[in-house]
C-alpha cells in the first residue's frame, strides 16, 4: 500500500527529528502520499528529500501558493492561458506521489478531483476559438491518475475540437509509478494519434530515478513515436552539483529522453529549504555546458514571480559592442571579435 500517513511513514523508515515534527505547527500545505515504487527507494537520500516532508515546510513563511499568478489567468474549465501561444489544462489535482517541491501547492492534493466533462468541453471550446494557441499542456496533478476510460474521454473531446493543437502529456508517473503504463493505456493513446502530435514531458531529477521500470514506461511512448522530453527541478540536497546533473542528462539522452528544462525553484511557500541560490545554479550551468553536448544540455530557466514568465539563465559571453564589432569571452579562455556586416 502507498504511504499516506506519518504513522505509515514511521513504520517504513526511521524519521529524522525534522521529519518527525513536520505536522507540529499545523497541517502542511501538501498532503503526504508516497507510491510503493518510491517507498522502495527511500533509503536513497536524494529520493527521500523529494518526497518525505519535514518541519521546514511549515517554518517557511516566505513566498505564496501561486507565485506564477496562474489563478489570474484561469479561463473556462480549469484552463490557464498565461502565454500567448500555449495553455495549460489542470486535468486533476491528484498525483501518485506528492513532491515536496511542488510549485502548484494551491491546487495539488486539494481534493478537487478530476475535471468534469463539462469543464473539459469548456476548455476545448476556448482553445478552438483562440487560433493563437498552438500547444496545450495536460497537467495538474498528473493526468495518468485518471482511469483509462477517463483519459479516452478527455482526449476524445480535446482532439475532436482541437485537432491541430500539439499536446504535451505532463507526468511524473514514469518516475514514481511506472506500472501505470499498460498496454491498454498505450492502445488508447495510439487511437488518438491523429492530427497534431503528442509530446511526453517527464520529470526525472536524479539519476537514481531512471530505474528499469521507468525506462520501460517511457519506451512505451517512444515506441508509439511520441518524443520524450524531461523537465528537472534544481533542488538543494538532491541534484545541486554538476556531476549529478551531468550524469542525469547523459543517461536521459542515452534512453532517448531529451533534457529540456532545468528549472530554478519557484517562490512557493514551504519550499525555501529546497531552493538553490541562483549564483550556485549559474556555476552548475556553466560546468554542465562545458561538458554536455547541445543535445544533452537543458535550458536553465526561472519562471519569474508575479506571472513574469520564463527567462533562461546562462553565463553571458558578450562583453561589449564596439562599433560594428561584438567582443565575446571564449568558453576555453580569451576573447574573440565578431564583426557585424557593415551594410
Sole residue written with cell 491518475: 145
Percentage of the chain with pLDDT > 70? Answer: 99
pLDDT of 69 over the 90 cut: no
Categorize the per-residue pLDDT at 75 as very low, low, confident or very high, splitting at 50, 70 and 90: confident
User: Is there a contact between 296 and 334 (Cβ–Cβ < 8 Å)?
Assistant: no
pLDDT of 152 over the 80 cut: yes
For residues 227 and 201, what is the distance between their CA atoms, to the nearest angstrom? 9
Q: Which residues of 124-153 are buried (b: 16+ CB within 10 A; e: fewer)?
A: bbbbbebeebebbbbbbbbbbbbeeebbbe
DSSP 8-state secondary structure symbol assigned to residue 64: B
Give ∠ CA 263-264-267 in degrees, rounded to 5. 120
Instruction: Identify the CA nearest to 86 among candidates 27, 127, 41, 45.
Output: 127
From the number of C-beta atoms within 10 Å of its C-beta (0-12, 13-18, 19+), residue 336 rates as exposed
Q: Give the DSSP H/E element, type plus range, for residue 1.
A: none
For residues 255 and 247, what is the distance between their CA atoms, to the nearest angstrom? 12
Instruction: Phi first, then psi: give them for residue 116, nearest 5 degrees.
Output: -80, 165
Q: What is the pLDDT of residue 62?
A: 75
Instruction: Name the residue with higher pLDDT: 343 or 173.
Output: 173
20 phi-psi bin (left φ>0, alpha ψ -120 to 50, beta other): alpha
Q: What is the pLDDT of residue 127?
A: 97
User: pLDDT (tens digit, 9 = 90+) per residue, 274-329?
Assistant: 999 999 999 999 999 999 999 999 999 999 888 888 999 998 888 999 888 999 89
Q: Give the DSSP H/E element, type plus range, for residue 314.
A: none
pLDDT of 65 over the 90 cut: no
Q: What is the mean pLDDT of the chain?
A: 94
Domain positions in the chain are: 59-312, 317-343
pLDDT of 27 over the 60 cut: no
Give ∠ CA 66-68-69 in degrees, rounded to 5. 65
Instruction: Phi first, then psi: give them for residue 228, nearest 5 degrees.
Output: -115, 135
Residues belonging to the active site: 82-83, 86, 95, 99, 102, 104, 266, 303, 310
- Cα torsion for 304, 308, 309, 314, to the nearest 10°? -50
For residues 329 and 336, what is the distance between their CA atoms, to the nearest angstrom? 6
Q: What is the pLDDT of residue 305?
A: 83
**CATH code for the domain defined by 59-312:** 3.20.20.70
Instruction: Identify the CA nearest to 29 among candidates 60, 74, 67, 73.
Output: 60
Instruction: Identify the CA nearest to 100 among candidates 61, 58, 67, 71.
Output: 58
Q: What is the pLDDT of residue 26?
A: 58
User: Is there a contact between 269 and 60 (Cβ–Cβ < 8 Å)?
Assistant: yes
Instruction: Identify the CA nearest to 267 among candidates 113, 107, 34, 103.
Output: 103
Residue 54, all three cell numbers: 519535514
Amino acid at each position: 500500500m502507498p504511504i499516506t500517513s506519518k504513522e505509515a511513514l514511521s513504520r517504513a523508515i526511521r524519521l529524522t527529528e525534522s521529519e518527525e515534527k513536520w505536522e507540529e505547527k499545523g497541517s502542511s500545505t501538501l498532503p503526504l502520499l508516497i507510491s510503493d515504487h518510491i517507498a522502495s527507494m527511500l533509503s536513497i537520500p536524494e529520493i527521500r528529500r523529494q518526497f518525505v516532508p519535514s518541519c521546514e515546510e511549515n517554518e517557511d513563511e516566505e513566498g505564496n501558493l501561486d507565485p506564477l499568478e496562474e489563478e489570474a489567468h484561469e479561463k473556462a474549465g480549469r484552463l490557464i492561458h498565461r502565454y500567448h501561444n500555449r495553455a495549460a489544462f489542470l486535468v486533476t489535482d491528484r498525483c501518485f506521489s506528492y513532491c515536496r517541491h511542488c510549485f502548484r501547492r494551491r491546487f495539488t492534493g486539494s481534493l478537487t478531483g478530476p475535471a468534469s466533462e463539462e469543464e473539459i468541453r469548456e476548455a476545448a471550446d476556448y482553445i478552438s476559438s483562440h487560433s493563437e494557441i498552438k500547444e496545450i499542456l495536460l497537467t495538474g496533478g498528473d493526468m495518468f491518475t485518471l482511469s483509462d476510460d477517463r483519459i479516452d474521454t478527455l482526449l476524445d473531446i480535446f482532439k475532436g475540437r482541437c485537432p491541430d493543437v500539439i499536446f504535451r502529456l505532463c507526468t511524473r508517473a514514469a518516475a514514481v509509478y511506472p506500472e501505470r503504463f499498460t498496454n491498454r493505456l498505450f492502445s488508447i493513446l495510439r487511437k488518438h494519434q491523429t492530427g497534431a502530435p503528442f509530446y511526453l514531458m517527464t520529470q526525472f531529477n536524479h539519476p537514481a530515478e531512471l530505474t528499469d521500470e521507468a525506462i520501460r514506461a517511457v519506451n512505451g511512448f517512444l515506441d508509439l513515436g511520441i518524443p520524450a522530453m524531461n523537465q528537472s527541478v534544481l533542488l538543494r540536497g538532491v541534484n545541486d552539483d554538476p556531476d549529478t546533473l551531468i550524469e542525469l542528462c547523459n543517461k536521459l539522452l542515452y534512453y532517448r529522453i531529451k533534457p529540456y528544462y532545468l528549472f530554478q525553484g519557484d517562490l512557493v511557500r514551504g519550499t525555501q529549504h529546497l531552493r538553490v541560490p541562483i549564483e550556485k545554479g549559474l556555476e552548475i550551468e556553466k560546468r554542465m555546458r562545458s561538458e554536455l553536448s547541445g543535445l544533452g544540455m537543458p535550458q536553465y530557466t526561472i519562471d519569474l514571480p508575479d506571472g513574469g514568465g520564463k527567462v533562461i539563465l546562462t553565463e553571458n559571453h558578450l562583453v561589449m559592442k564596439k562599433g560594428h564589432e561584438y567582443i565575446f569571452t571564449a568558453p576555453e579562455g580569451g576573447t574573440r571579435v565578431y564583426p557585424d556586416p557593415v551594410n
